[in-house]
Structure 1
Amino acid sequence: MVTPETDNPPPFDQPSPSPPGAELTPDDEMEALMEEYRLEGDVRKATRDHVVYEMARERAKAEVEAKRYAADIAALAACSRNLTSFLNEETAEASYDVADLLPAEGNFTLVAAKKTGKTSTTIELVRAYADGSPFLGRFEITGGPQHVGMWDYEMGDPQLREWLRRAGIRNTDRVHLLPLRGQHLSLRTPATREWAAGWLRDRRVGLWLLDPAHRAMTGFTTQGDPNTAAQEFTETLEQIKREAGVRNIGLPVHTGLSGEHARGASRWGEWPDAIWKLKKDENGRRTLSAEGRDVDLAETTVQRDAETRRLSVSAFDNAGSAYQGPSDVDRLCMWLDAHPDDHPSKRRVAEILNVSQEKAATILETAEDAGRIVVRPGPRRSQRAWLPEHVEAEAEAAQPRQMEL
């Protein structure tokens, strides 16, 4: 009979197990030492493989980073030149994008207390950019009609729709809306930044408005110094602006308790090229002032027309004196802007402004000399008043459309 021990004999190349308590023979000690060396070799190999893996991983990461920032590096190289070359470069464009208020390719903040008219002023700027008409009836948009990207975080769709409809924007296809009330969008994430740049670029946006700034900063707020968050946020905006080809950025900002300075970070006073300040006194009178790089506008009264609900400032207003209301020329231009299909004669202007025909003739002459209106022949040898942008719009509409191949 075969015993159990003989049923499963030990492999020929391994030593027989020693019974408990038995002393190790020299062969047993050699086998144990060889096993220890084998385990150490496996550890060394695993360590070496891990080091190789980590080196490959870091190299791949560096290549990805290099590709990601290649455009930034190329842009830096393109910007670098000596002063001689820089001064010899011709400036073919205007010094301002909004006359007297915003330098070319500049950014601005609109600083105002709550319920001062910040949103109404912002919508006036949207209309001015989209239609190419003077902002507040006075400040020329030097680049003509442009596309506007309006990111609104405050208003619900019904109210925003009503306010924009009431603004009387003619080129509505140039205004691109992103209503964000109740939505979460953080520009701090790379994917969102890339999406935002594409959104702006695809729509050829010239002016990008984010209203209000503190809501657009979602994801940048920290428990530390608020200036750090504001700096990171504004630098992100600059990066998106460059990648998307945006010309101007506007940030409506709420004031603190004093009503004089932007709430939160002092960085709001350092980043923009121009700071626009909108105020309302105890009598309900609004004023606009601006300061910045080559920008210095003293407090100017902002008038609201009861019929059209439009805002305007007088070309000759002095907020320090008693306000006399918009000038006759301002009133005429505001009326023409609100009625783009109506081009009144001298008699009709007299009725609109409630003045004599002699006074109406003087107003028309003054407005024409200042370049505010264009006087064109009308029916029965009459002379009709047009806004310059209305003349341009009619000329564009009269051009035959090219057939699509």
Structure 2
Amino acid sequence: MVSEWHEIITKFAPHLHRLQPWEQLPAGWDDQLDEQIADMVEDRWFEHTSDFQRQVHSEARRIRVSEHARDLLAREKAAQAAEPFDLGTLGEILRRPTEPPHRVEGLIPSDASTLVVAQRKTGKTTLLLNLARCLLTGEDFLSNFTTRPVVGTVALLNYEVSAAQIARWADDVGVDRGRLLLVNLRGRRNPLPVPEDRAKLAEILRSWQVETLIVDPFGRAYTGKSQNDPGEVGSWLVSLDQFARTEVGAKDLILATHAGWDGERTRGSSALEDWADSIITLVRDKDSNNGGNNGGEERYLRAEGRDVMVEEDQLRFDPTTRLLSLAGTGNRKAANKARRVDSLVGFVVDELQGDLALSGYEIEKRWRAKGLSFQKGEANAAGRRGAELGQLLLEPGPRNALIFRLNPSPPRPPHTSPTGTSDDLPDLPIYKGRSSGDVPTTDLPEDAPLPLEAS
């Protein structure tokens, strides 16, 4: 077909001799040709280019077949390297030497696959580095969870942060410089889908006796086409398990992933959560702003999984050491309630000016007369908090009531304005457009949102 085309253009259209088969016939190419000859040249041109395109597609198919064949062989070799099925009677398996049930007591089981789900910019990498430190030292993770230390090393496949930054953060946390292996892959070729790179990396990690492998984050380590396809994601997770446990020889696999738009669940396929033995979730409290804890908003951690159930609790962060610990103060709802009570202490103090001694009921009665909004029992809660802070004194009253009065020597006496409202705290909210008699204060649910101030 090629020789026939060249014979025709040599004889009838030599000006087309340099035309390549992937190009278009130029405008005016047939101006000097007889119409019948032009038709013949054009027919042969289309035959020639069609034959070229067929060859291109055939060659592309051959290359794709070759690439898929190499991938198939790599998977078959990995499967052959894996140990065969584990079989035994119940009695035989129960007689085997028992291993410690948890790597991190109550949080990460032994030989487990752990998923760390975090909203963006909540300190996911800092949490992982804190975990790496405790895995190497045996210190309690988050100052709360007993940790069984690794014998070998910990490796972190870091896809997200620059090498210099992750090294500086790890050093700030105090991770053992000789036992944390950093594999920095930001802007680099992903070794997991490349057989040669994968085999070389596995060999290096095995030589370092890596016992815990951390992969951060899933979105950049993943090699499939869609993170929402459960089949693709599930297959990739099986391959990651084989890499970590069979090729590297690690016991623990920890995979970090970003949370979806709601900040509470994983982004992408639910196959991620189905895969994990333990799911650790890190969230921020958007209603908090403490002005210092890693950007102002408080962080909270919870976990669930096989033999794992950790109720949500606040994380404390030391900006100097970058160390994290559980505060033991409860979940976001409890924290919001505590902030609400703290905000009312100043208003209890205002009502006790002039050496008054009042019960919580009497304080709430005064608030209601002023048109202020509150929930039943909040005056007592705020009074107790004021006593904890040393601003108030409390004593038993009739019918098991508590009587509050000002502490004549408080640690830091609150300042009050001439009108009697606290200068230390924001104004107590008022229901917009309602008088005090219309405020249904006693029927408000415990977690009701704070009303806005009247305009």
TM interval, short-chain normalised: 0.5 to 0.7
- TM-superposed CA distance for 1:66, in Å, is 8.3
CA distance in 1, matches of 2:273, 2:150: 28
Q: For residues 162-212 of structure 1, what are the alpha-carbon distances to aligned partners after superposition, in whole Å with 9 as ceiling and x for unaligned?
A: 21221122x210100111111011412333332232122111111111111
CA distance in 1, matches of 2:334, 2:265: 24
Aligned to 1:203: 208
Q: Is the 8 A contact 1:129 1:146 kept in 2?
A: no
CA distance in 1, matches of 2:73, 2:203: 24
RCO higher in structure (CA 8 A, sep ≥6): 1
Aligned to 2:243: 240
Amino acid at match of 1:180: L
Aligned to 1:123: 129
Q: 2:272 aligned with 1:268, yes or no? A: yes
Q: Are residues 198 and 299 of structure 1, via their aligned partners in 2, closer, same or farther at CA, if it must alter by over 3 Å?
A: same
Q: 2:190 aligned with 1:185, yes or no? A: yes
Paired residues, what number? 255
1:313 to 320, 326, 331: 326
- TM-superposed CA distance for 1:71, in Å, is 3.6
Q: Are residues 145 and 66 of structure 1, via their aligned partners in 2, closer, same or farther at CA, if it must alter by over 3 Å?
A: closer
Q: Are residues 216 and 63 of structure 1, via their aligned partners in 2, closer, same or farther at CA, if it must alter by over 3 Å?
A: closer
CA distance in 2, matches of 1:259, 1:238: 26
Q: Is the 8 A contact 1:132 1:145 kept in 2?
A: no
2:309 to 293, 296, 308: 296
Q: Is the 8 A contact 1:285 1:301 kept in 2?
A: yes
Q: TM-score, normalised by structure 1?
A: 0.58
CA distance in 1, matches of 2:76, 2:164: 46
Aligned to 1:156: 162
Q: Is the 8 A contact 2:107 2:145 kept in 1?
A: yes
Q: Is the 8 A contact 2:303 2:310 kept in 1?
A: yes
Compute the RMSD of aligned alpha carbons.
2.6
- TM-superposed CA distance for 1:161, in Å, is 2.5
2:112 to 95, 100, 106: 106
CA distance in 1, matches of 2:265, 2:276: 14
- TM-superposed CA distance for 1:82, in Å, is 2.1
Q: Are residues 191 and 80 of structure 1, via their aligned partners in 2, closer, same or farther at CA, if it must alter by over 3 Å?
A: farther
The 5-angstrom pairing of residues 3-402 of structure 1 reads: 69-72=79-82, 75-77=83-85, 79-91=86-98, 93-144=99-150, 146-169=152-175, 171-217=176-222, 219-222=223-226, 226-243=229-246, 244-282=248-286, 283=288, 284-314=297-327, 316-319=328-331, 320-322=333-335
CA distance in 1, matches of 2:329, 2:207: 40
Q: Are residues 292 and 135 of structure 1, via their aligned partners in 2, closer, same or farther at CA, if it must alter by over 3 Å?
A: same
Q: Are residues 207 and 321 of structure 1, via their aligned partners in 2, closer, same or farther at CA, if it must alter by over 3 Å?
A: same
CA distance in 2, matches of 1:184, 1:63: 21
Q: Is the 8 A contact 1:108 1:272 kept in 2?
A: yes
CA distance in 2, matches of 1:189, 1:168: 34
More divergent stretch after superposition (139-148 vs 175-184):
139-148
Amino acid at match of 2:93: F
Q: Are residues 63 and 307 of structure 1, via their aligned partners in 2, closer, same or farther at CA, if it must alter by over 3 Å?
A: closer
Q: Are residues 248 and 66 of structure 1, via their aligned partners in 2, closer, same or farther at CA, if it must alter by over 3 Å?
A: closer
CA distance in 1, matches of 2:181, 2:111: 20
Amino acid at match of 1:126: A
Q: Are residues 63 and 276 of structure 1, via their aligned partners in 2, closer, same or farther at CA, if it must alter by over 3 Å?
A: closer
Amino acid at match of 1:190: P
CA distance in 2, matches of 1:108, 1:221: 23
CA distance in 1, matches of 2:279, 2:75: 36
Q: For residues 100-150 of structure 1, what are the alpha-carbon distances to aligned partners after superposition, in whole Å with 9 as ceiling and x for unaligned?
A: 101110011110110111111111111111222221122122135641101
Q: Is the 8 A contact 2:259 2:267 kept in 1?
A: yes
Structure 2: gaps of 5 or more residues? 1-71, 289-296, 339-455
Q: Is the 8 A contact 1:153 1:211 kept in 2?
A: yes
Q: Are residues 265 and 294 of structure 1, via their aligned partners in 2, closer, same or farther at CA, if it must alter by over 3 Å?
A: same
Q: Are residues 141 and 68 of structure 1, via their aligned partners in 2, closer, same or farther at CA, if it must alter by over 3 Å?
A: closer
Q: TM-score, normalised by structure 2?
A: 0.52
1:173 counterpart SS class: coil
Q: Are residues 86 and 183 of structure 1, via their aligned partners in 2, closer, same or farther at CA, if it must alter by over 3 Å?
A: same
Q: For residues 239-293 of structure 1, what are the alpha-carbon distances to aligned partners after superposition, in whole Å with 9 as ceiling and x for unaligned?
A: 1122222011111110111111110111111011000000111211111100000
CA distance in 1, matches of 2:114, 2:74: 35
Amino acid at match of 2:155: G
Q: Are residues 317 and 147 of structure 1, via their aligned partners in 2, closer, same or farther at CA, if it must alter by over 3 Å?
A: farther
Q: Are residues 68 and 99 of structure 1, via their aligned partners in 2, closer, same or farther at CA, if it must alter by over 3 Å?
A: closer
1:270 counterpart SS class: helix
2:149 counterpart SS class: coil
2:157 counterpart SS class: strand
